[in-house]
Chains A and B, each alone.
Chain A
């Protein structure tokens, strides 16, 4: 009895969470253009997607910005995490707190504050401004993931390595880096997804010269729901799902 209740409860949660996505994916295969009626299965919208040059362009932009900003955020975030883990310095606690604040701040606040900053130093909005904005968005996530993993280590492992003759460089190279690598990769995929999904920050920090996919979709939807958008979103769900599953796999301890 208790098992059944648990099962129904879980089923309801998944139902409400994923019903909209399922409906959208289903409609991406619907042959009808204007009505919500089911007119039969088609791959037409996927085909059209492939031949929409400006959409492909926006998608490539999105992938490029996600890859670049995830990579940069990983470097900055990992170094930050290592620094606050390994050394005791003034401002260490502050950095840790600021990371959490940045993680919690609403996207719209980050977006507008960055826009004001870019305007103040009169940077033209485009690839570089968006890149910087997304790095800012992702660094806290990477830093906190990597820091969490470092905290989980036996602190004597580093001492053991030094005891066995490893200098500072060898400790980094053979102990700390390999042991944190799963968290760094997980942080990369997390950042990649964050960047790929972001609409609000991108809305404020990119310009007409550099259009990305979420914004493109947003403008398409304003003129009414189109089946191509459904197809496009289905593809993005797939990419996100792959990134999430990879992240989880990397973070799980290999027991």
Chain B
């Protein structure tokens, strides 16, 4: 980021269990004060990555540097890293106070200092007054906050969070996402969060690491990962996607003319493509424009503004109500099915399209993403 040395550096880190590769050649730099999220499906190795940084398991190959120092020989209790576990792992036989004070006591701090810092942190997570409770007397959200308090009270260099919100219900999860983000801003501690929920990753983090089958697919700001996915896997994982197959017909600098089905369409891409190559055109549902053929015929102005490169035609199969928006599934005349997200009109809160409507589909030029064809 700002040119300073990374706080955590992973160099060619691999982890094997028996003959199973959990992580392969992970190179990653995490900077001070950053909120970084490791995003991937279950079993992709994201929790393993966290456990390697925390020191619960040794790396099979490569090295991890914390603040410039190789931590290979440091056991977890010697690393200035604290973890919030998915199961919270609170000590069931201790009160909230003792749970939070545990780390400070292990470091041999004076009782006065411990009392002050525990009180401060419990205030921060809004659990003042709960000192004497046992973990099993708390709700899931409260237990989660105790787990966070127990970790941050030690003022670690890095806080590792392993799917900390997955056990909470939807509303509470949303609230805790915000709370965690605010907490991170306030404390300035580096947060490394693991999740399989792309929405959570996007709304909380400065940078997202997309992990798949033990390898990093892409690292970048949430908007980069969403708008410029490096490959089909990332594109699919971080949101709904429509795929069209095309062939490169002509290249003039960034402008590329594609043959998609019977249409020639001009697109833009800063990637280099060879003439004649097969490509994927990626379109998010919210980037697609859908109009009925009837409206286009009735309204020349609309038709002019709709698309100059031509458009696809198709038939509406289904509409799905989503609350603030609705999805329109269109079977294109070529046979492919695509989904577009539409907003309700200001003056009309009904779903405009009906199954069976003949429609035209296009998109705003430049919003598409071009990727080399992956088989």
Contact = CB atoms under 8 A, between A and B. Distances in A.
Contacts of B150: 160, 164
Interface of B: 54, 56, 75-77, 81-83, 85-87, 89-93, 102-103, 106-107, 134, 136, 150-151, 154
A179 B85 contact: no
Given A163-B54, A166-B77, A174 B102 contact: yes
With most chain A CB atoms within 10 A of its CB, the pick from B87, B91, B134, B154 is B91
A160 B85 contact: yes
A156 B154 contact: no
A178 to B, nearest CB: 5
Interface in A155-207: 156-157, 159-167, 170, 174-175, 178-179
A170 B106 CA distance: 8
Given A175-B91, A179-B93, A161 B85 contact: no
A50 to B, nearest CB: 42
B140 to A, nearest CB: 14
A255 B136 contact: yes
Given A165-B103, A165-B154, A170-B106, A160 B93 contact: no
A167 B93 contact: no
B54 A157 contact: no
A154 interface: yes
B136 A161 contact: no
26 contacts: A154-B87, A154-B89, A156-B86, A157-B89, A159-B54, A159-B56, A159-B76, A159-B85, A159-B89, A160-B83, A160-B85, A160-B150, A162-B56, A162-B76, A163-B56, A163-B76, A163-B77, A163-B81, A164-B102, A164-B103, A164-B151, A165-B77, A165-B154, A166-B77, A166-B102, A166-B106
Contacts of B76: 159, 162-163
A162 B83 CA distance: 10
Contacts of B83: 159-160, 163
Contacts of A174: 102
Contacts of A165: 77, 103, 106-107, 154
Task: Name the interface size band of chain A.
Answer: 10 to 19
Contacts of B56: 159, 162-163
A167 B76 CA distance: 9
A210 to B, nearest CB: 40
Contacts of B93: 178-179
B134 to A, nearest CB: 8
B77 A162 contact: yes
A174 B77 CA distance: 15
B158 to A, nearest CB: 12
With most chain B CB atoms within 10 A of its CB, the pick from A154, A162, A175 is A162
A126 B267 CA distance: 97
Contacts of A160: 83, 85, 89-91, 150
Given A156-B86, A162-B77, 7 more contacts: A156-B87, A157-B90, A159-B85, A160-B90, A162-B76, A164-B102, A166-B77
